[in-house]
Amino acid sequence: MDIASLLGIASGIFLIVGAIFLGGDIHNFINIPGLMIVGGGSLATTLLTFQFRDVFAAFKAAYFVFSKEKEDPNEAVAIMISLCQISRRQGLLELSKIETDSGFLKKACGLIADGSSNDVIRNALITEIESLKMRHFIVQDVFRKMGIYSPAFGMLGTLIGLVQMLSNLQEPSQIGPAMATALLTTFYGSLMSTMFFLPIAGKLKARTILEVINLEIMLEGSISILDNNNPVILYEKLSSFISARLRKPMKEMVGR
């Protein structure tokens, strides 16, 4: 589980709810019509903007933000060093037998084992990376758009509440609920945007950047295996993708 994401959401909700409790009754901040306007309107507009499968994929990806630990680039470097050692001892053809959950790595190993040229391997894997970036951009854009739509529907709810309030000035009992809807929809829209949708989009973008780094490590590692097949040179080249303070020494990666 990603502790940072969980801690961020939990602390934000705790501080906001705590401030509400300190300032009065939390029931004053519960308004079903306002939630319907902001939540329902944002979701409906998002479904109008994107295909259903993209929206479903976005919410599925958001779940993984909280449930899946981020991948360590050092692991990708260690995997490529291991493949380099296998290819030196048993030959490049042995890489075609590698069992892995990564389709990208499986493809890279297959291209190496088939004796493909550097350009063929590089172009094929770069295409894979660019395709992944585009798929992830759409997923991130779903939450970015929801972060834009929710405050807009908050303002729309405010206008609805004001119209209701002004049309019932002769009935004082109706002014309070209408005013609550007017104010709380703006609150809901801002809360959903700044507390949920935009941070999730940012987190997904950060995960995409990290995943692309791992894939680029595999790409450059594949080319290096085909070029020189030297674990030391491979380590020095691939470790450059990782910050110096986070970089693990080669002796911790050899023989894994």
Q: Does position 188 have pLDDT exceeding 60, yes or no?
A: yes
Residues with Cβ within 8 Å of 13's Cβ and at least 6 positions away in sequence, in order, are: 195
Look up residue 44 and give its two tokens.
């409906």
Exposure on the CB side of residue 169, measured as CA atoms within 13 A: 4
The answer on pLDDT for 256 being more than 60 is no
Residue 1 pLDDT greater than 70, yes or no: no
pLDDT at position 108, please?
Answer: 92
Question: What pLDDT shows up at residue 230?
Answer: 83
How much of the chain, in percent, has pLDDT values that exceed 90?
Answer: 45
Q: pTM of the entire structure?
A: 0.84
- pLDDT tens track for 54-111: 999 999 988 877 777 778 899 999 999 999 988 888 888 888 888 888 899 999 999 9
Arithmetic mean of pLDDT, 24-30:
77
pLDDT tens digits for 61-77? Answer: 888 777 777 788 999 99
In this predicted structure, which of 8-12, 22-26, 79-83, 125-129 has the lowest mean pLDDT? Answer: 22-26
pLDDT for residue 255: 56
What mean pLDDT, rounded, does the chain reach? 87
Residue 209's pLDDT is 93
- Classify 195 as helix, strand or coil: helix
**Within 10 A of 79 (CB to CB), how many other CB atoms are there?**
20
199 pLDDT exceeds 60? yes
Domain range summary for the chain, segments of one domain joined by +? 31-73+119-252
How do residues 204-224 score in pLDDT, each as one tens digit? 999 999 999 999 999 999 999
Torsion sign, CA atoms 167, 173, 179, 180: negative
Interval 215-241 mean pLDDT: 89
Other C-beta atoms within 10 Å of 256: how many?
10
> What whole-number distance in Å separates Cα of residue 202 and Cα of residue 204?
5
